Structure 1
Amino acid sequence: MTRRLNALVIGNAAYEDVDALKNPVNDAEDVGRKLETCGFSVIQEMDSSHADMDRALKRFQRVLKDSDVGLFFFAGHGMQIDGENYLAAVDTDATDEITAKHSSLALNRVIEVMEKSGCSTGIIILDACRNNPFERAWTRSIKVRGLAPVYAPRGTLIAYATSPGQTASDGKGRNGTYTAALLQHLTTPDCSIEAMFKRVRNTLSATTKGRQISWEHTSLAGEFFFNLSLGLRIDLYSETALSDSLFVLDDRKASHRVIRELKSSTWPRQNPAVDDFTPEMANKAAADSLFVVGRNLYQAACGGSRSASAYLADFASRTNGINEPKRKAILDGMLFEVFFDPNARLRKTFKLRKLEPLFSLQRHKDLLPSFDFIAECLLPDVAQFHALPGKRHEIAVDVVTYPAAKADQHVVESMHCGGESILWLEDEDYAPEPGEPPLLEQLTLRAFEAQLSEQMVLPSHLLKVNYLSFEKQGRERLWFPLGYTARKR
C-alpha cells in the first residue's frame, strides 16, 4: 500500500521587530524528520520571510495535486486580527493591523490551498498560539488572545497547541511544550490521528499541570495513521507470510514442500529442493507461499547452499517464465529476509552475506518494483541507514588517509558522507590506550570497499569511494583501524 504524503513545515523564530523565539526552528526540524520516517516528502522553511512563505506555499500547492495526504505544520508567532488567523513571517511589518495582515500568511489561504488540492486528507498543525507581541505597536488594544477557531473543510483536521482564545508558551528544552508532546506520540504504531492527538492532549495537560489544553477541529471522512505497522502497511502478503514463524506448511502443496526442505538447514536437502523449484511449480503457488519460498531461498544461500546461491545469482534467467506478480513475490521475500526476522521485526543484525548479488538485481528494470517494496517496508526505520535500501541513489564516501611506511600503503584517518564523519569506534575492546594509535589491519582496496559496502548496507554499484589523499590505481593497500566501522550509529 503506497501512500502519497507531502508536508510543508515552517519554523519561524528570528523575528526582526520583536524578541526572537527559542523553539520554533527546532520544532520544525524535528517534526520534519519524524514525518519523513512516516513516508512524507517534506518541504522545510526556517526563519522565513513573507516572500519565502508565499513561495513555499505555492510549491506545496503544486505537489499536493499528486498527493493523497497533505500536512502543514507551523511553529512561530500567530495572531488573530478581526476574527481571522495569520502566521507571522520573520519580517512581518506590524506597524498596524492592516500591514500585519498583508505581510503575514493567512491561515485561511493555507486551508483553501489544501481544500482545493484534491487530497483526501488535509492536516494542519499550529504551534502558534503565543501572546501576540505585535499588538504593542498598534493604535488600539486587541483584547482577543491566541488564535480563533476556523472552519475545517471535509477531510481536514486542524490542530492547535491550545484551546481557542488561549495562549501557549515556549518550552524549557529544545522544543515547545506542545511540539514536544506531539513528537512523543506522532509515530505511535497503528494509532489513528484522532487517538494520537488525544495522547498529545493528555501529555500536554500533565506537563503543564492543566494550564495548556490542546484542541482539534476535525471533519475527517476516514481514518489516517501516521505510522502503520508492517502488517497493516504491506497489504500484498498476509501476516503469517511476513511473520513466517507463523506460516503453516501443508505438504500437499509442492511449494510448501520446497519451503520445508529449505528450512532443514542441510545442503543435501536444500539443493535438490531448489533444483526442483521450476517456473511451472511457481506459477501454481500462491503469493504468500512464494514470498516465504523467497525468504528461505535467501536464508539457504547465506547458509552456503550451492543451489540457492546459484538461483540467486541467476535469478533473472531462473525465473523466466514465472508470471510477473509471482516472480515479484519470490524477490520480495528474498529482500525481506535481509532485514526482517521471523516475527517481521527489524533485525538487530542484518543478513548481508549475499547482499551484493541480491542488490545487483536492481539493475534489471523489470525487477525494480521489488526494491520499491523493500524501501516502503524500511521507511519507518530510515534513520538506521545512510541511504534507504531499495532506493537507487548513489552515495559518495570521501576517505582521508596518510602515507604508511611502505609505498602504495595508506592509513585510513577518517571517512565522510553527507557532510558528516562516519568512522567511529564500534567495539570498545579495541580502544587504544591513551596516547596510543589504534590497532590496524591491512586490506586491499577491493576488500576495503566490500567491507564499506556491507557496513553501509549499500551495493557496490551505488557506492562511490573517493580517496582524497592519493590517486587510485588499484594496487594500493589500506591500513584500517580495528574495531572501527562506518555503520550508522
Structure 2
Amino acid sequence: MSFLFKPLIFTACLLLAAGAQAATDRIALVIGVADYQYLPPLENTRNDAVAMADTLEGIGFDVSLALDPGTSEMEQLLDDFAFRSEVADLALVYFAGHGIEVQGENFLIPADAKVASNRDVQRQSLSLKQLLGAVDRARKMRIVILDSCRDNPLGDSIALEQSSEQTTQTTETTRGGGGMAPADPDRGTLVAFAAKDGQVALDGSGSNS
C-alpha cells in the first residue's frame, strides 16, 4: 500500500502501529540528509529527522538516527537494519532528503553523491527497492516514509545549474531535483510520500518542513 501522508493521518498511523506491537519489537531507521556536497543543501531535513526520531522513541520504537550519511554508510545502515528486522514485528524506515525518479524507479540521494546524469543517480544512490528490502523481513508490518519531491523536470540527464536555478525561483527550497514514482509494495508493507505524484515537497521556511 502506498499513500500521501499528512501530519494528522500519519500521526494516527504511528499511534495505531504503536498500540499493535510490543515495544521491544518495533525498530526504526531514520535518515536525514541536508549537507549535500555536490547538490543544493537542504535546511530542515536534519531537523525533521531528529523530530521523527524523538516521536518514534516516544511511542516505544528502538530508533537508529543517521544524519548526512554518504553512500557507503547508507548501504551499511540498511544492511544492518535488514538483519535486525528479522526479529522485529514492525520495521520502519524514514528518509528526508533529495530524491529522484529514474526510469520508473525511486532513488534517495546520499550526502556525498556527485550526480550529473541518471546513470550517476543509479550508481551512487539508494533505491526504494533497497529500503523495502531492509524492512521486508519484519514479521507483521513494514513502513517506508519518503520525505522527498515527486516532480521530475530533469529528463534524461541532471543539470545541476537547473537545480540551483529552480531553488532561487521559489521562496522555499524543494527536496529534490527529480521526483518519486508510484510504489507497489507487497501486502503488509506501507509506503508514504510527502507529496502527490508530480509535486514538490517544500523544505519549509521555519525550523521544520
Measured against the shorter chain, the TM-score band is 0.7 to 0.9
Which residue does the alignment assign to 2:108?
87
Which residue does the alignment assign to 1:102?
123
Does 1:174 pair with 2:174? no
Give the superposition deviation at 1:171: 0.8
Counterpart residue type for residue 38 of structure 1? I
Does 1:135 pair with 2:158? yes
Report the number of matched residues. Answer: 170
State TM-score, norm by structure 2.
0.76
Specify which of 121, 125, 134 is matched with residue 141 of structure 2: 121
Write the distance in 2 (CA, Å) between the matches of 1:165 and 1:30. 26
Residues 128 and 32 of structure 1, relative CA distance in 2, 3 Å threshold: same
Write the distance in 2 (CA, Å) between the matches of 1:145 and 1:2. 38
Structure 1 portions without partners, runs of 5+? 139-143, 177-489
Does 1:160 pair with 2:193? yes
Could you say what secondary structure the match of 1:135 adopts? coil
State TM-score, norm by structure 1.
0.33
Specify which of 147, 153, 174 is matched with residue 180 of structure 2: 147
Note the 1:380-399 alignment, pairs <5 A.
Answer: none
Which residue does the alignment assign to 1:48?
69
Write the distance in 2 (CA, Å) between the matches of 1:79 and 1:43. 24
Which residue does the alignment assign to 1:324?
none
- With a CA cutoff of 8 Å and minimum separation of 6, indicate the structure with the bigger relative contact order: 2
Give the superposition deviation at 1:75: 0.3
Could you say what secondary structure the match of 1:74 adopts? strand
Alpha-carbon deviations, 1:79-101, whole Å to 9, x = none? 00011000000111213211221
Higher helix residue share: 1
Counterpart residue type for residue 125 of structure 2? S
Note the 1:287-298 alignment, pairs <5 A.
Answer: none
Counterpart residue type for residue 37 of structure 1? G
Counterpart residue type for residue 125 of structure 1? I
Specify which of 86, 98, 110 is matched with residue 65 of structure 1: 86
Does 1:31 pair with 2:52? yes
Structure 2 portions without partners, runs of 5+? 1-20, 162-176
Write the distance in 2 (CA, Å) between the matches of 1:119 and 1:102. 31
Give the superposition deviation at 1:110: 1.2
Say if 2:81 and 2:135, in contact at 8 Å, map to a contact too. no
CA RMSD of aligned residues (A): 2.1
Give the superposition deviation at 1:36: 0.3
Which residue does the alignment assign to 1:6?
27
Write the distance in 1 (CA, Å) between the matches of 2:74 and 2:178. 24
Residues 21 and 88 of structure 1, relative CA distance in 2, 3 Å threshold: same
Residues 91 and 106 of structure 1, relative CA distance in 2, 3 Å threshold: same
Which residue does the alignment assign to 2:96?
75
Note the 1:296-315 alignment, pairs <5 A.
Answer: none
Say if 2:150 and 2:179, in contact at 8 Å, map to a contact too. yes
Give the superposition deviation at 1:18: 1.8
Write the distance in 2 (CA, Å) between the matches of 1:49 and 1:130. 22
Give the superposition deviation at 1:145: 5.2
